[in-house]
Amino acid sequence: MFSNEVVSVEGRPEPGDTVRVFDRREFLGSGMYNPHSLIAVRLYSDREREFDLDFIKERLRAAREYRGEVLSGEEDYRLCYGEGDGLPGLVVDKYGRHFVVQSHALAVERRLELVTRALLDSFEVESVYEKNDFRLRDPEGLPRREGPLHGVPGRQVPIAEAGARFQVDIALGQKTGWYFDQRVTRRRVREFARGRRFLDVFSYSGGFAVNAALGGAETVVAVDSSVTATGLGAANAAHNGVAECCEFRLEEAFRYLTGLARDRGGFDMVCLDPPAFIKAKREREGGLRGYRTINTLAMRLLPPGGILVTSSCSHHLFWQDFLDMLVGAARDAGREFTILERTSQGPDHPVLLSMPESEYLRCFILRVA
């Protein structure tokens, strides 16, 4: 519930308290309250419930059970995706026995000790690490910080995703260390990459690049503007025994693609997985221009039969907007495409039917006609 939807407040709830929420007379449920945030109330139950240790344990165990169903055999995944798992404001990533926690809400922040306790009671735990150094916390009035809540995570935590093996640097890596959300599209890339010359733009630690190589790509070039990212990527390629066909380059994406366009590239499959260009509604126009430019540049590289895997993780860019942008980019590039597939965030980022905002990752796999 946004702050402008709150008609009246009874009693004297403090920021971070839990409240009961009514729509006129009708009881809606229990929520976390923060009058300083744009999201004044986050509903966490449709009943009258305490937000206590038992509740957190119940929800985390349900989250694990669900992942056991939809990601059978996997040990590494997003264990808790906020509202999608009935725990608004809480993100937990599970790297085997190492857990990384992020909180987006004051009421959760106050209960990080309980969250840690719930994890210790329900899982085999080596470490719990708080990675709360992101910008989205500022409007909630939460300080940025990170550090261990229990134990110490190793520098190279091994994970597996559909049989591919990666090492995650929890403290040094971006976000929580690994982008679990792209697991579905990475599988597709592995299937489509056979015999292709693959370019991974915005590669981070090589999630797509390694999958392309494992899928039998002839050559793989991965570019990222972060030296930490390219270092992690090269190590991950070696870890999977595919270092020989992979090259990780420190490059600014727009400049690199512009340069390739001049000398006609030499790739027949390109993956674009940029950071969110539209982080707020007011960034929409500039962000759309960025998406259009980068997609046009990538499309121009592709020969007939070439494949483009293009993603947006901008919450504010909906499917139709993304599609319209791609139509414009294809026109600029002078190419026609067919849509092979559209994919989204994996099942460990469950989308609530009643909450369209919980879907943010959108990908198209296109083939030059």
Q: Is 77 in the site for ligand SAH (CB under 6 A)?
A: no
- Should residue 130 be labelled a site residue for ligand SAH when binding is judged by CB under 6 A? no
What's the min distance (Å) between Cβ of 293 and ligand SAH?
A: 11
Identity of residue 264: R
Nearer to ligand SAH, 55 or 248 (CB): 248
Q: Say how far apart CA 129 and CA 155 lie, in whole Å.
A: 12
Residue 352 C-beta: closest distance to ligand SAH, Å: 24
Judged by CB under 6 A, does residue 248 bind ligand SAH?
Answer: no
- Our finding on whether 160 is near ligand SAH (CB under 6 A) is no
φ/ψ (deg, to 5) at 169: -100, 100
Give the count of beta carbons closer than 10 Å to the beta carbon of residue 291: 24
**Beta carbon of residue 183, minimum distance to ligand SAH (angstroms, whole number):** 9
Is 313 one of the annotated active-site residues of the chain? yes
Q: Find the catalytic residue in 80, 246, 271, 313.
A: 313
CA-to-CA distance for 250 and 332, rounded, in angstroms? 27
Compute how many residues bind ligand SAH; rule: CB under 6 A. Answer: 18
CB nearer to ligand SAH: pick between 132 and 182: 182
Q: Is 133 in the site for ligand SAH (CB under 6 A)?
A: no
Verify binding: residue 93, ligand SAH, rule CB under 6 A. no
CB of 36 to ligand SAH, least distance (A): 30
* Residue from 5, 46, 113, 252 binding ligand SAH (CB under 6 A): 252
Query: Quick check: 290 binds ligand SAH (CB under 6 A)?
Result: no
CA atoms of 268 and 368, how far apart (whole Å): 10
Near ligand SAH by CB under 6 A: residue from 195, 275, 304, 305: 275
Query: Looking only at residues 173 through 232 of this chain, which bind ligand SAH when binding is defined by CB under 6 A?
Result: 174, 179, 182, 202-205, 207-208, 224-226, 229
Residue number of the CB closest to ligand SAH reads: 207
Q: With contact defined as beta carbons under 8 Å apart, do 206 and 198 qualify?
A: no
Q: Does 286 bind ligand SAH (CB under 6 A)?
A: no
Residue 55 binding ligand SAH, by CB under 6 A: no
* Residues designated as active site: 313
What is the binding site for ligand SAH (CB under 6 A)? Answer: 174, 179, 182, 202-205, 207-208, 224-226, 229, 252-253, 273-275
